[in-house]
């Protein structure tokens, strides 16, 4: 990662697995205030929203890895459903070939676009990071109960201020976690506050650590 001491805008993008699936975008400032949450569907809309949030060289962008909905083998097909949480121990995160095949390439063009514009860009895996930060809810991931639990624990455990009183959808909550990962990259130390857990299409996949 490049020198990031001048950053003041930390953007998380939870990108949908297809254009018909909602993507969530969130922005944190240096003091972990939630500045903005938004939603989008197509990639051009996402580009426009993020481009208008901050000068590129003052931002860190962290983009979630969408699940590969075309992976049809049994266990992987179940894991790709939007209502299921990711069981890291069962899947074996260290099996790199299988690990990479579980994710879609959607969003890779956004990584290249924003990196070329001067923005610092990385990927994250929302399910893995939720496990690392102990944010996983004991409910189906897209249910209202799970979203309420996740929203409350994000506010309490990650010390994020200005969370809205209305219930946020899961893509928005996942994007807040991505913005938090970006903030950790700026404020923390590698392998202490965050670590690289892999790479996808030449971009590092980063997870925040629970300290």
pLDDT in tens, 69-100: 665 454 545 555 554 444 544 444 455 555 55
pTM, full prediction: 0.83
Please, are residues 135 and 157 in contact by the beta-carbon 8 Å criterion?
yes
What percent of the chain clears pLDDT 70, i.e. is strictly above it?
79
User: For the residues 198-202, what does the mean pLDDT come to?
Assistant: 91
User: Which domains occur in the chain, in start order?
Assistant: 9-204 (3.30.420)
Start-to-end CA distance of the chain, whole Å, equals 21
| pLDDT value at 104 more than 50 | yes
Please, are residues 160 and 180 in contact by the beta-carbon 8 Å criterion?
yes
**Residue 41, token pair as written in the block:** 């569907």
Please, are residues 74 and 102 in contact by the beta-carbon 8 Å criterion?
no
Count of CB atoms situated within 10 Å of the CB of 58: 15
Which segment of 1-5, 138-142, 162-166, 178-182 scores lowest on mean pLDDT?
1-5
């Amino acid at each position: 990662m490049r020198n990031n001491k001048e950053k003041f805008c930390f953007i998380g993008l939870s990108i949908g697995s297809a254009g018909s699936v909602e993507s969530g975008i969130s922005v944190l400032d240096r003091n972990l205030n939630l500045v903005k949450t938004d939603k989008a569907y197509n990639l051009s809309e996402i580009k426009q929203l993020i481009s208008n949030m901050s000068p590129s060289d003052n931002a860190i962008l962290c983009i979630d890895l969408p699940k590969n909905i075309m992976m049809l083998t049994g266990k992987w097909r179940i894991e790709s459903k939007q209502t299921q949480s990711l069981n890291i121990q069962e899947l074996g995160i260290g099996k790199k070939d299988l690990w990479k095949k579980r994710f879609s390439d959607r969003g890779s063009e956004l990584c290249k676009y924003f990196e070329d514009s001067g923005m610092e860009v990385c990927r994250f895996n929302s399910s893995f990071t939720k496990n690392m930060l102990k944010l996983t809810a004991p409910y189906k991931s897209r249910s209202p109960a799970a979203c309420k639990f996740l929203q409350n624990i994000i506010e309490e455990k990650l010390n994020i201020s200005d969370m809205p009183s209305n219930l946020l959808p899961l893509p928005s909550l996942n994007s807040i976690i991505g913005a938090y990962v970006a903030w950790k990259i700026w404020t923390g130390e590698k392998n202490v506050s965050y670590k690289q857990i892999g790479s996808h299409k030449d971009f590092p996949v980063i997870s925040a650590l629970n300290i």
